[in-house]
Chain A
Amino acid sequence: MTRPPPEPVQLIKQRRDAALSALVHGVPYIQFLGIAFERRGDELTAVLSYDEKLIGNPLLPALHGGVTAAFLEVTAIIGLSWSLIWDEMERGALDPLTLSPQTLPRLPKTIDFTVDYLRSGLPRDAYARARVNRSGRRYASVHVEAWQDNRARLYAQATGHFLMPPRDV
């Protein structure tokens, strides 16, 4: 009874990072807002780097409510897509090293998105994490939380429903 030796850690990291990078860098709007994703295993944290063009109220100053909504929606869509890609990748059904923006699986489409603004967005970096509460064949429901200085003090949260991309089975 011999088991195949475990894959070298660098190979696993390279594969997962390549998949995430193809997913995130394929979307121009994510680059426009300046959002990056950090990965720990399958957990993603979205980071919105502060920039003057994200301001909505120059007097306070505060982040634009639309920027916050967009940041949360981007986090939800990438989080949901990532959960789909992850399963296929780990099963070996998808080779991330061949992925490009043109060959990526289609992204889920937003049906509706509801944002709660809990505190005004400060002029500094913001972070967000998505939790897929339900992921069915056709529909998904995703919750997102965003914070700035303190993880426990959310500045916004959102829930969205998404239409799943058709899958060739």
Chain B
Amino acid sequence: MRDDKASLAKQFIQAIPHSRALNMRVEQIGDGVAEISMPYDEALIGDPQTGVIHGGAVSALMDTCGGAAVMSHPDAPAGTATISLRIDYMRAATPGQRITARAECYHITRSVAFVRARASDADADNPVATASGSFTVERPKGAGA
């Protein structure tokens, strides 16, 4: 049952048009934790003089990963949407390297899910960015109290 939920979430995420546009790959998902990676792409460059990827692309990866973590939580019934997301940028991602984000849904109520995430490149001990966010918990219509 749990595996079904994880594979469904994985399918759903990999079918999102913007995740496809960024070539995101779900590395791991389940029990409120998700790991998603994104390859380096020259189309995503934000600083033409250094070739460093734009922070916005890292935000998109973090947001997707956060939503995936929520969807994979055992207490999350259905979809989710971002309420707020804060990202701290520690350093520039090294050009040419794949970026991997890992998000954890560490608390969930009937209405809100709380998420922490971090992203790194090949130097996994030295994060590129960290994030924290809150997400909605969407309940199927007609589900009684």
Contact = CB atoms under 8 A, between A and B. Distances in A.
Interface of A: 26-29, 31-33, 52-59, 62, 64-67, 69-71, 73-74, 77, 101-102, 104, 106-107, 109-117, 120
B18 A26 contact: no
Contacts of A116: 83-84
A59 B140 CA distance: 14
A113 B48 contact: no
B119 to A, nearest CB: 12
Interface residues on B, range: 35 or more
B63 A66 contact: yes
Contact of B49 (A33, A69, A106): A106
B59 interface: yes
A57 B79 contact: yes
A106 B92 CA distance: 14
B17 A33 contact: no
8 contacts: A28-B44, A28-B46, A69-B59, A101-B49, A106-B47, A110-B87, A111-B89, A117-B81
Contacts of A106: 47, 49
Given A57-B81, A58-B16, A107-B47, A66 B89 contact: no
A55 B18 contact: yes
B71 to A, nearest CB: 11
Contacts of A27: 45-48, 54
B103 to A, nearest CB: 12
Nearest to A159: B86
B17 A55 contact: yes
Nearest to B67: A65
A26 B45 CA distance: 10
Nearest to B21: A53
